[in-house]
Chains A and B, each alone.
Chain A
Amino acid sequence: MNATSAEQASAPVTEDALRSVLLAGERPSRPGPVLTSLTFGWRALLKIKHVPEQLVDVTMFPIMFTLMFTYLFGGALAGSTQEYLQFLLPGILVQANVMITMNTGITLNTDIQKGVFDRFRSLPVWRPSPLVGALLGDLVRYSIGSAIVITLGLVLGFRPEGGAVGVVLSVVLLLVFSFCLSWLWTMLSLILRTPNSVAGVSMMVMFPLTFVSNIFVDPKTMPGWMQAVVEVNPITHLATVVRGLMDGSVPAGEIGWVLVSSVLLVAVFGPITMVLYRNKK
């Protein structure tokens, strides 16, 4: 109804106006990869502005998980909820961020379904920039999620020995890792056909990845084979690093581990994503 009234009110397309815009449409010089990526990042932010509901996964989920795990399992696992919170919070921060990365794939797949992506692919811009831009926009989401978890933790009584520096460093590392992990989801979203299937498969990967780690419990109580899995899971190392930094220590070896796995994630899934992107039907 709204739309129709505006259409009636809008001026018809005039030949003169059309001519003048066509004549004025000279091509400016081509922008570089950084600028185009940032521009796509700006698009992601605009989408957050217009569809704030999409922030549910970065707000409600982390809150729910932190509260649930602290109060459901805290007493049983660590003797008291306070002590468990001290152990859990860095881990839940990792889990929250890693979960939020899934959204990347779902958003990208929606773009593909709606045809927006073909318009981007038809532009003479640095080819990975729509993807890189989307991931840059996601950094904002991760930051929001992290801020919420940390704030909630502080309110509930979590006290990081590492202070503000430790907290900030661990968030930075988390952003780096999340950015790199997202290439896995971009790849999936180019393979699978619907946003729903992307969500389904992502969940299937995500649950074991985050739960079979040291996020929730100390792996010592697990069977040996599972400890072995936990040991190679990059999420475990990330959680160890975040725990360490927040606790005031600098686990250099573990940080190296996280950075190497981040680089590997991009090195493997980045090129695959780009090949799929180029040949997308």
Chain B
Amino acid sequence: MGKRAIETRGLKKSFGKTHAVAGVDLAVSAGGVYGVLGPNGAGKTTTIRMLATLLHPDAGEAQVLGYDVVRDAQAVRSRVGLTGQFASVDEDLTGVENLLLLARLLGYSRRLGRERATDLLDAFGLAEAADRQVKKYSGGMRRRIDIAASLVVTPELIFLDEPTTGLDPRSRNQVWEIVRGMVAEGATVLLTTQYLDEADQLADRIAVIDHGKVIAEGTSGELKASVGAGSLHVRLRAPEQRAEAERVLAGVLEVPAEPSADPAALSARISDPERVARSLAELSRSGIDVTEFALGQPSLDEVFLALTGHAAEETPEEDAA
């Protein structure tokens, strides 16, 4: 326990004048999911490529599972698996051929390699597509074969670079289940994502990256707490009382209350949870009936906005074809 799966100090990489990674320090403990969250172009993929020995850092150091990514690159390669936009499979080959190819390259005999490929395809729900060319797979199947390809030999550490980008919700849930399953078996997963709810759902700890730098790090709870206590959501019996309720809440909470899309609801960000009880009492005293109220932690969207000064980039989802 307490063993470090990844440790980087001052990791840097530039492409021409672009400082893709401008000094990243990470400390990732073994076991569990570590999320790297950031918008497109924040330097997530470049960081992973350096950790996976595909790219030489310009400066800084990185140890993966105790091995230096430059000096002991082969040792790192034999212990990690990677899946992402960059490490894909051969679209011209069938699912089983792809896995067999990797199994053979990793030292399996033809017979054991074929068994291994079949087992993986079964486990990932791809048995029926085994003999079909990967280019004919749907988006979700494609992502599953990508992940299966990085598990031919069970790695100690798995890099997943935006594993659910462009997937429909059902396929995304399947990928999440796979990630949880891998972690349950003791793997460490480093996951990059631009989806805040994905990091929130899966990651034990999160590093927020922007412009090639880690701008915040912690559990999702810690990140949220660093931004503020959260917000109060209130729903009224009579929508026409909303304006008055807005005034009452603002008065007690000392922050502006904002009407929600729901005509009977409003919410306010709160700095001091103490005042919440008082504000609700005040509403009732003013003759405003409240049907529901909820005290929520801030969303990671709000965290991101607070940390970076700009919203996390929402790229429109591609069709999961």
Give complex CA distance A46, B108 in Å.
19
Contact of B107 among A27, A115, A120 (CB under 8 A): A27
Chain A residues with Cβ below 8 Å from B107 are 27-31
Contact (Cβ within 8 A) A43 B101: yes
Known contacts A51-B92, A122-B82, A124-B77, A28 near B108 by CB under 8 Å? yes
Q: Contacts A6-B129, A18-B178, A122-B54: A24 and B77 contacting too (C-beta < 8 A)?
A: no
Tell me which residues across on chain B come within 8 A of A17, comparing CB atoms: 119, 122-123
* Contact indicator per residue, chain A 1-45, by CB within 8 Å of chain B (1) or not (0): 011101101111111011111111111111100011001101100
B276 interfacial contact with A, CB 8 Å = no
Point out the residue from B87, B104, B181 that lies within 8 Å of A15, measured CB to CB: B181
Which residues of chain A from 222 to 281 have a CB within 8 Å of any chain B CB? Answer: 279-281
Q: Cβ of B15 and Cβ of A31 under 8 Å apart?
A: no
Q: Does B52 contact A (CB under 8 A)?
A: yes
Nearest Cβ in chain B — how far from A103, in angstroms? 14
Q: Mark B44-72, 1 if CB is under 8 A from A, else 0.
A: 00000100111110000000000000000
- Set of chain A residues within 8 Å of B80, measured between Cβ atoms: 122
Q: Which residues of A contact B52 (CB under 8 A)?
A: 122
Contact yes or no, A7 B120, CB < 8 A? no
A111 to B93: give the CA distance in the assembly, Å: 13
Verify if B85 is at the interface (C-beta below 8 Å from A).
yes
Complex CA–CA separation, A173 to B134 (angstroms): 37
Q: Does B29 contact A (CB under 8 A)?
A: no
- B56 engages A279 (CB within 8 Å): yes
- Grouping DSSP codes into helix (H, G, I), strand (E, B) and loop, the A interface class, with mixed when no group exceeds half, is helix
Least CB separation from A17: chain B residue: B123
B239 CB–A CB distance under 8 Å: no
List the A side residues contacting B93 at CB < 8 Å.
43, 46-47, 50
Query: Is B152 an interface residue, CB under 8 A from the partner?
Result: yes
* A27 with B78, Cβ < 8 A, contacts A13-B177, A115-B87 known: yes
* A281-B15 contact, Cβ under 8 Å, with A7-B138, A13-B174, A123-B77: yes
Assess the B185–A19 pair: CB atoms within 8 A.
yes
Q: Does B200 contact A (CB under 8 A)?
A: no
Q: Is the CB of B181 within 8 A of A13?
A: yes
How far is B53's CA from A39's CA once the two chains are assembled, in angstroms? 22
A159 within 8 A of B: no
A118→B87 contact, CB < 8 A: yes
| Nearest CB on B from A206, distance (A) | 25
Residues facing A in B100-147 (CB within 8 A) are 101-102, 104-109, 112, 116, 119-120, 122-129, 132-133, 136-138, 140-141, 144
Contact A13 B125 (CB under 8 A): yes
| C-alpha spacing A168/B63, complex, angstroms | 53
A109 to B112, CA, bound (A): 32
* Interface assignment of A78: CB less than 8 Å from any CB of chain B: no
Q: Given A10-B125, A13-B181, are A39 and B119 also a contact pair (CB < 8 Å)?
A: no
* Contact, CB under 8 Å: A114 / B119: no
Which residue of B has the minimal Cβ distance to A28? B107
Chain A residues with CB under 8 A of B56: 279
Q: Which residues of B contact A115 (CB under 8 A)?
A: 85-88
Say whether, besides A11-B127, A14-B123, A31 and B55 are in contact (CB < 8 Å).
Answer: no
Tell me the smallest distance from the CB of B79 to a CB of chain A, in Å: 9
Given contacts A21-B151, A116-B90, contact A31 B122 (CB under 8 A): no
Check B91 for interface membership: any CB of A closer than 8 A. yes
In contact, A281 and B141 (Cβ under 8 angstroms): no
CA distance A9 to B130 in the complex (A): 13
Q: Does A125 contact B (CB under 8 A)?
A: yes
- Say whether, besides A25-B151, A30-B107, A9 and B92 are in contact (CB < 8 Å): no
The 9 closest A-B pairs by CB, nearest first: A25-B154, A28-B107, A124-B78, A17-B123, A115-B88, A18-B181, A3-B138, A10-B125, A119-B87
Which B residues are closer than 8 A to A by beta carbons? 15, 49, 52-56, 74, 77-78, 80, 82, 85-94, 97, 101-102, 104-109, 112, 116, 119-120, 122-129, 132-133, 136-138, 140-141, 144, 149, 151-154, 174, 177-178, 181-182, 184-185, 187
Other A-B contacts than A17-B122, A27-B153, A111-B90, 12 sampled, CB-CB below 8 A, are A6-B132, A7-B129, A11-B127, A12-B125, A14-B123, A17-B119, A20-B119, A28-B108, A114-B88, A119-B88, A124-B78, A125-B105
